[in-house]
Structure 1
Amino acid sequence: MTLNPASHPPAYPSATPPALIQLREVEKTYGGRAGSNAVTALHTITLDVPKGAILGVIGRSGAGKSTLIRLVNGLEQPTRGQVIVDGVEMSALDERALRHERRAIGMIFQHFNLLARRTAFDNVALPLEIAGASRAEIKARVMPLLDLVGLADKARRYPAELSGGQKQRVGIARALATNPKVLLSDEATSALDPETTEQILTLLRRVNAELDLTILLITHEMSVIKSVTDRVAVIDGGRIVEEGPTFDLFTRPQHPTTRSFVSSITGNELPAHLASRLSAKPLAGSQVLVRLTFTGGDASQPFLSVLTRKLDIDLGIIQGNVDYIGGHPFGTLVVSTPADQNCLQALTDASRDLGLHVEVLGYVA
């Protein structure tokens, strides 16, 4: 099986494809019987995963990420709402029909879940054996999959003889064995070192691009979101608080939780000695701190020089960074200038004229 490398996830600049996975007003509550207190893990979740997309769901521990993914593959049933995969309402199926539909949903796990007494070949073959495939059919499917994930020479090795990255590659091959339409990834890289993580993410991008496979990826690592997804949903306290194209959420985060995640990976966090001294109102002799965000092909332009010459003011550089999200550059620059309202307004107007996003962070003495 031959794949052409894909350096970046697909983008949808003009229109979003139809959703392959749909969650409609989904709620999941545990407990509440025999005197126990009910715990609501998910609150009225509505989410679409476009066909062929890699959508990441990011949140802190306990935010509801794993519950969400278990609803998609039918391991959990919603208390309320609908879970629809490729037009089939998973939450309305009986157990037999659910088993049949699960063949179109592949799953990879944080801790690999390989059977220790089965070889790499036999682990990948397991879903096909359960589905009743013949030995010839199994061999014709498994060996190309092991070749796809770069493990054709490890077919007869046991999990104990494989590295963590190799085990996860076997897990990916196994998830693809039944030729699924959807691949679910539940913290699949969090047990791996950074170099191996990047290799696994590169493989997921290739699989997505070449097999047109829709991927729903659960993670608490913003670096994973940045590297592989083209859309992202931020979950906090069982609610989706923000959702959209990855580039948009990185460059224009709206919710405080999103801003916190983004700042941890883009270097947008102010130094602690400044953040602790910020005031919402100007003080005598204070400076105003302004974050300028620039995106796309203009990210490498000398905006600071242009602004300084145009306004004839001194701008102090507090912090600066240029990064790439989905192959597109964006940069941030935090500058300081005297806390004069006329000066601030002039800086704001001139920056916006240059296509920059302007955010006043506060005042510091």
Structure 2
Amino acid sequence: MKLTEHISSGAASDEAIIQLRGVEKTFAARGANAPVTALHEINLDVPRGAILGVIGRSGAGKSTLIRLVNGLELPSSGSVRVDGVEISALEERALRQERRSIGMIFQHFNLLARRTAFGNVALPLEIAGVSKAEIRKRVLPLLDLVGLSDKVDRYPAELSGGQKQRVGIARALATNPKVLLSDEATSALDPETTEQILALLKQVNAELDVTVLLITHEMSVIKGVADRVAVIDEGRIVEEGATYDVFTGPQHATTRNFVSSITGTRLPEHLATRLSATPSAGKEALVQLVFKGEGAAQPWLSVLTRKLDVDLGIVQAKVDHISGRPFGTLVVSLPDVAKLPALLETSKELGLETEVLGYA
């Protein structure tokens, strides 16, 4: 069931509903430990109606960033705004009120063991003083939305991990939030369940016009759900943009490392260790070809072989879809290194991006 009768409407736009400007967060010294700066000069916009993923390694500052958005942490300096409201400037009572427009789902579900699925989803409404009749009117459609209409009276111990997370999503939506924050919400789930939860988040985003900000250390999660991605490394945003653009043209070393395992641009370890930067007798050139858009489905190996009259070996190849658009990589070996300039020039003429990975 679509909950449009319960959700305030608003078309998606490029307007930023979440804005971070010049945000720094330093945690005070504890004992003999020096102060720790978790975030440095963070500037980030989350467009209204979008799904933006923040990816980074453990300790990169992801969790601190998301806790700033709902006021669980306050910035040491800078500005954090949600729908025009300066979160860090709110008194506790006003902050509690504002949090009703900011839903939160967690890695380990955070459900109350002695409450049923219905009771867990109803909890934030009870705290807000909503009547029992209105609570029922709100909770049952939400449980239907997340696929748990038959689990209304089940307790968390009777639910699978994916079902628990569905309850968590329904609970986060109970107060009609404008924004949904996801803190590693799929990290404790198996791959199949992860796909289901990501599909649910996309459904929530599309049907309820709820902006989603999620943090993760898994690039496959970003690929599966996010419109935009921001890469955080050592407390700094090092790259940000549309998911397709970042996946197909990563600029920062951290980003390239993240996307390589997803896009097929990472060589097998046994081959990578044999690569040298300069040609020598008996070694073949390894060249990576990148093709985007509709051209990803073209038989590029046959085209290049015929045009150049060369033998090209396939080292690895992958064609995938990112944000609904095709993207492919092909790593070839070229025995006749003298023909490498011609291969690079012809590939460029055909609109392919190329990179000489080395010689092996």
Give the TM-score normalised by the residue count of structure 2. 0.94
Q: Structure 1 residues 261-270 or 107-116, which shifts more?
A: 261-270
- Alpha-carbon separation, structure 1, partners of 2:113 and 2:262: 36
Letter in 2 for 1:356: L
Alignment-derived partner of residue 363 in structure 1: 359
| 8 Å CA contact 1:288, 1:362 repeated in 2 | yes
**Number of corresponding residues:** 353
Offset from partner CA, 1:191-223 (integer Å, 9 cap, x none): 111111111111111010111110001111111
Alignment-derived partner of residue 50 in structure 1: 47
Q: Structure 1 residues 179-188 or 250-259, which shifts more?
A: 250-259
1:247 Cα deviation after fit? 1.1
% identity of equivalent residues: 75
Which of 197, 215, 231 is matched with 1:200 structurally?
Answer: 197
Which of 114, 120, 129 is matched with 1:132 structurally?
Answer: 129
| 8 Å CA contact 2:17, 2:46 repeated in 1 | yes
Alignment-derived partner of residue 349 in structure 1: 345
| 8 Å CA contact 2:2, 2:208 repeated in 1 | no
Offset from partner CA, 1:230-285 (integer Å, 9 cap, x none): 11111111111111111112111111111111112233211222211222222334
Determine whether 1:311 maps to 2:308. Answer: yes
What are the equivalent positions in structure 2 for 1:68-107 lying under 5 Å apart? 68-107=65-104
Alignment-derived partner of residue 160 in structure 2: 163
What are the equivalent positions in structure 2 for 1:110-129 lying under 5 Å apart? 110-129=107-126
Which of 217, 222, 238 is matched with 1:220 structurally?
Answer: 217
Offset from partner CA, 1:271-315 (integer Å, 9 cap, x none): 222211222222334322111011111111011111111122222
- Alpha-carbon separation, structure 2, partners of 1:210 and 1:155: 22
| 8 Å CA contact 1:120, 1:156 repeated in 2 | yes
What are the equivalent positions in structure 2 for 1:244-263 lying under 5 Å apart? 244-263=241-260
Letter in 2 for 1:259: R
Let me know the Cα RMSD of the aligned residues. 1.7
Give the TM-score normalised by the residue count of structure 1. 0.93
Alignment-derived partner of residue 7 in structure 1: none
| 8 Å CA contact 1:282, 1:339 repeated in 2 | no
Where structure 2 has 5 or more consecutive residues not aligned to the other structure, the ranges are: 5-11
1:82 Cα deviation after fit? 0.8
Where structure 1 has 5 or more consecutive residues not aligned to the other structure, the ranges are: 5-11
Letter in 2 for 1:171: G
Alignment-derived partner of residue 8 in structure 1: none
Alignment-derived partner of residue 2 in structure 2: 2
Secondary structure, aligned partner of 2:154: coil
- Alpha-carbon separation, structure 1, partners of 2:92 and 2:232: 29
Which of 318, 327, 335 is matched with 2:324 structurally?
Answer: 327
1:339 Cα deviation after fit? 6.5
Secondary structure, aligned partner of 2:334: strand
Alignment-derived partner of residue 9 in structure 1: none
Secondary structure, aligned partner of 2:150: helix
| 8 Å CA contact 2:61, 2:235 repeated in 1 | yes
| 8 Å CA contact 1:291, 1:360 repeated in 2 | yes
Offset from partner CA, 1:107-128 (integer Å, 9 cap, x none): 0001100111111111111111
| 8 Å CA contact 1:186, 1:218 repeated in 2 | yes
1:90 Cα deviation after fit? 0.8
Q: Structure 1 residues 175-184 or 289-298, which shifts more?
A: 289-298
| 8 Å CA contact 1:250, 1:262 repeated in 2 | yes
Alignment-derived partner of residue 38 in structure 2: 41
Secondary structure, aligned partner of 1:143: helix
- Alpha-carbon separation, structure 2, partners of 1:56 and 1:69: 11
1:3 Cα deviation after fit? 7.7
Alignment-derived partner of residue 139 in structure 2: 142
Offset from partner CA, 1:61-113 (integer Å, 9 cap, x none): 11111001000110000111111111111112121211111110000001100
- Alpha-carbon separation, structure 2, partners of 1:355 and 1:51: 34
Determine whether 1:282 maps to 2:279. Answer: yes
- Alpha-carbon separation, structure 2, partners of 1:222 and 1:144: 32
- Alpha-carbon separation, structure 1, partners of 2:100 and 2:2: 23
